[in-house]
Amino acid sequence: MTRKHLVLAILLLLVFFAVQGGEYGTRDYLILQREERDERALIQALRREVDSLEREARLVETDPETQERLARELYGMLRDGEFAYFIERGDSLASRPGRR
């Protein structure tokens, strides 16, 4: 191997080390870019969720229809003159003690 080839090989190794070596190589850089992209997507999804929850909270505080719907669904509240009917499935009656 001539001196020229040796110098060329050393230069190629130096260039390779400059690109790939060190604390953060090209592979690490690409991984960090992918992680950053994933984190940004997660942030966007969380922002959409927060916006949706803020809208829902605003409706609960200010919208009478939403308040009435929640009162009926969560607490079983009724208007004057309304009756609540609870329908049991047929198999639940047969499973009671003393029933045949």
Per-residue pLDDT of the chain (100 residues; tens, 9 = 90+): 688 888 888 899 888 877 777 777 778 888 999 999 999 999 999 999 999 999 999 999 999 999 999 998 898 888 888 888 888 877 755 555 655 5
The CA distance from 29 to 23, in Å, is 10
The CA distance from 59 to 7, in Å, is 74
| Nearest by Cα to 12 from 48, 91, 21 | 21
What pLDDT shows up at residue 95? 58
What pLDDT shows up at residue 37? 98
* pTM, full prediction: 0.55
